[in-house]
Chain A
Amino acid sequence: MDMSQYLEIFIEESKEHLQSLNQSLLQLEKNPDDRTMLNEIFRVAHTIKGMAGTMGFNRMSKLTHDMENVLHALRNDELEVTPELVDILFRCFDALENYTANIIETGSEGNTDSKELSDVLSGLLRNKKKSGAKASEQTKAGAPPAPETEREIASDLELDQYETNLINKAADMGNDAWQITVRLNKGCLLKSARAFIIFKTLERHSEIIKSVPPVQDIEDEKFDFEFTVIVLTRADAEVIRKDLNSIAEVDDVIMKLIKERNKAAVGVQAEEMPAADQLQIPADIRQAAAPGQDGPEPVTKKTKTGKTVRVDIDRLDVLLNLVSELIIQKTRLEGLEGIERTQQYVEAIEYLERITTSLHDAVMKVRMVPVETVFNRFPRMIRDVSRELGKEVELEMSGVDTELDRTVIDEIGDPLIHLLRNACDHGIESKEERRKLGKPESGKIELKAYQDGNNVVIEVGDDGQGIDVEKVRKKIVERGLVSKDAAANLSKKDLIEYLFRPSFSTAEKVTDISGRGVGLDVVKTKIETLGGTVEVETETGRGSRFYIRLPLTLAIIQALLVMIGEEKYAIQLSSVHKIINITPDDIKTVQKQEVVMYRNSVIPIVRLREVLEVPGGSDADQKVMTLVIVKKGERLTGFIVDRIIGQQEIVQKSLGKYLAGTRVITSATILGDGNVALILDVNALAN
C-alpha cells in the first residue's frame, strides 16, 4: 500500500507535535511538579507513537513507546522528574527530530537506531521502585525495518538469450539499446494510465523489448512509482528524453546505453560507457552511472513538492475578510449617487459583481474540506492494529464527503484515532470470545459522518463488548476517586463520565494500541476546544457508539432569508420543510397555543415578529401570511414571517462571547451589502 500521500500530513503533524513537545519539556524543566505538562508530554509522545506506527516508521514508534513507559511511571509517581531525566527526554526529542528530518529529506526514517536511548530509558525504569520494563512489549514495537526498497532503482536487468540476441541484431543494424527508467510523481493517481502514455510515446521512436516489471503488472498498477524498459531505437537519446519529460507527472527519466556486442553477457555497464556517450546525455545520466544507492537521493528531493500548499488558517481568515470588504465596497459603488449610469458603467459593475461573487465563493470553499482527508488514513490503521491484536476487524466508513471547516479538520484526526484504537482494543472481543458469544468472528467498526442541522456528527461505533460499567465502578473506588458507598449509587451515565477523566483506563493490561488512560480525556478535551461535545451510548455485549458533535463555526450553509418588519433574518435551509401561505382564518387556538392544519396534522405556529420583539407593524392587518414550516426531528413548527427574500449561501459567523447567551439566535452572517443578518435558532424558537 502506498503511504506517500499521507507522508506530507505526517510530516506536518509531526512538526507540530515536536514543537509542542519541545515547549512542554522546557516547561517541565522549569516546573518539575507540573502535572499538566507531564500529561501533555505524554499525550504528544503517545500521538507520535500512533502516527509513526501507522506510517511504518518503527524506530520512531519504538522510541516514543519507550518514552511513554518512563512518562507513565512519572505520572504514577514511580519515578521523579530530575534534571537528568529531563535531559534524557530532550535527547529523545532530538532523536525524534532527527527521524523527522530524515523523513522530510528522504521519505524514510533512516537507519539510525535509538537503541542506546531506549536502553537508558528502560534502565531508568529498572532502577526505580516498580520496574516493569515490559520487555516483551518493546520487542513487538521493534518489528520489521522501514520499507526503503521502494526507493531503489530497479537495478541492472537480467537479459535472456532472446533479448541479448535482439540487442545484438539491433546493433548490427545501427540501432542503440537503451535502458530507460521512468519515475513517476508520487502524487500520480492513475499510474497505469500514465505508464500507458509513456509506452505509447516510446513506441513512436523505438521498439520496447523488455519491461520491468512486466507490462501486465504495470497495467494492473502493480508497481511503485517507477519502471524500467529496454528499447531499441535509432532516435537521438535527447529526443526520447525530452518527449518523456514532457509527459505530465513524470518526475525523472534515467537513460543508460546498453553496451553492444558482448556475447557472453550483454549487460548494462554504465561504468564502461565511452566518454562520447556520456557527453551526449548530460546531467542525470551521470547520476545514474554512479553507484546504485546514490542515484535516488537527488530525485526524492524533488518529490517533496506536492500539489497542495498548507496555508495558515489566519491567512484564510484575512483573505475572507478582505473579500467581504470588497463586496461591501462594490455594493457601495453600485449605489453611488450622481453618477451617469452609462452602458459601460453598468457593464463594468456587473462584471465586478460576478468576480466578487466568484471570489467570495472560492475563498469560502477553500476553507471547507471533506472529512475524507482525515478518514483516509484509518483503514490502514485499523488493519494494522487489528493484526497486531490478532483480531479481525472491519471498518465501515460512510459520509466521507461531509465537509468541515479546515480548522476543525486539522484537529479532528487525533481524537478519532484514539476512539478507533480504543474500539479495536477494548471494544471488539477476541475471535474466540466472539465465536463463543455467537457473534461473527469479524468485528465491525463503523465510522460515520453526517450533517445534522448546525452540526456535523461523527459516529464511531463498534459491535464489541460495550463498556463494562461495573468495572468502571470498581476502578474508581480502587483509585480512590469516589468512596465505595457513593460509587454504588452512581448511574450508568455518571460512571461513563469517569471514562473521560484524565488518567483513567479500564484496560487490564497495557498494550501498544491503547489502554493507558490517555484515550478518552484527550478526545474530550480536544473536542471541547473545538466547541463540540462527545457522548457515548453503550450496551453490554452489543457494543459502544461515540457521538462527536461539532459545530460548523465557520461553515457555509444554505439559508432562507426572510424579512420580519424591517429586519432580515436567515433560517438554515436544511431545517425548512415547506413554505406555505395562510390566511388569519387558518389560525386556530388549542390550549392557548396557536396552530394551523397542515396535511391533516396540527402544527403549532410562532409569530416571529412578537418573539423577536421586532419594532413596528403587526401581523394583524395582513390578509395573507407567509408560513415557513421548519422541521425539528419529526416535529413541524410554523414560523410567520412578513416576506421571503430568497435562498442564499451564507457564512456563519459567531456572535462572540459577549452575545453568546442570546438563545433565539445561533450566529450571524454578513450579507452582500455588508450588513449583518442574524441566523435564527430554529430549535430554540420551536420550543
Chain B
Amino acid sequence: MADQNTTDARRYLVFRLENDEYGIEIDKISTIIEKDMDITRVPKQPAFVKGVINLRGEIIPVLSLRLKFGLDDDVYNEDTRIIIIKVDDLSIGLIVDSVAEVVLLDDETTESVSNIAGERPLEYLKGVGKPDGRIITLLDLEKIVMPEEAAT
C-alpha cells in the first residue's frame, strides 16, 4: 500500500458543490448512490433536511449540503450523488453535485483549521487539503450531522 510510508496519510473522497471541491474521510463513507429515487419530505424540519429515503430497507435522512452551506437549492441531474456516511452509528445521506475522485492527503498537504480564517463554511471545516495546488475543503462530519437546534 502506498500510504504505508507516510504515517498520517488519509484517503479522502472529493466531491463538488458549485465550483468548490470538498473532501470527506473515506472510512466514514458507507456507500455512494445515484439520486434515482424520490426523497420523502419530512415536515417541520429545516430546509436543508431534504427528507428520507429507503436504502435497502433502512430509512435514511438526506441532507442538502448546498442548503446547509447557504448555496442555491440542488438541481438534480445525472451527476448528482448521495453520499451515505456513517458517523457514530448514524447513517445520513449528503446530496452533492458530483463525486470526483479519491485523494491521499498527509500532513504536508493538509492545513489545519486554525491556520485558516474567514472562509465560508467555517463551522463545518476541519482543514484544507492542498494536493497539487488544488484547494479541497475538508469537512467535519461530526459537526454536519449534529442536529441543529439553532436551525428553525
Contacts and interface: CB of A to CB of B under 8 A. Distances in A.
Interface stretch (B39-47, B70-78, B94-102, B127-135): B39-47
A656 interface: yes
B91 A655 contact: no
Q: How large is the interface on A (under 10, 10 to 19, 20 to 34, 35 or more residues)?
A: 20 to 34
A654 B59 contact: yes
B45 A659 contact: yes
Interface stretch (A34-42, A56-64, A481-489, A675-683): A675-683
Contact of B54 (A324, A567, A615, A655): A324
A686 interface: no
B38 interface: yes
A382 interface: no
A150 interface: no
A685 to B, nearest CB: 10
B59 A324 contact: no
A325 B56 CA distance: 6
Interface string A304-323: 00000000000001001110
Nearest to B89: A657
Interface string A656-675: 11110111110010100011
B45 A675 contact: no
A674 B42 CA distance: 17
Nearest to A668: B59
B91 A676 contact: no
Q: How large is the interface on B (under 10, 10 to 19, 20 to 34, 35 or more residues)?
A: 20 to 34
B20 interface: no
A3 interface: no
Interface in B51-87: 51-54, 56-61
Given A321-B57, A325-B56, A656 B40 contact: no
A324 to B, nearest CB: 4
Contacts of B41: 567, 615
Given A321-B57, A325-B57, A675-B37, A659 B52 contact: yes
Contacts of B150: none
A366 interface: no
Contact of A662 (B38, B44, B56): B44
A325 B58 CA distance: 10
B24 interface: no
A674 B52 contact: no
B118 interface: no
Given A321-B56, A659-B45, 19 more contacts: A324-B54, A325-B56, A567-B41, A611-B43, A613-B44, A655-B59, A656-B59, A656-B60, A658-B92, A658-B147, A661-B147, A662-B45, A663-B44, A674-B37, A675-B37, A676-B51, A676-B53, A678-B42, A678-B43
7 contacts: A317-B57, A328-B54, A615-B41, A662-B42, A668-B52, A676-B51, A677-B40
The 7 closest A-B pairs by CB, nearest first: A321-B57, A676-B40, A324-B57, A612-B43, A658-B61, A670-B54, A653-B59
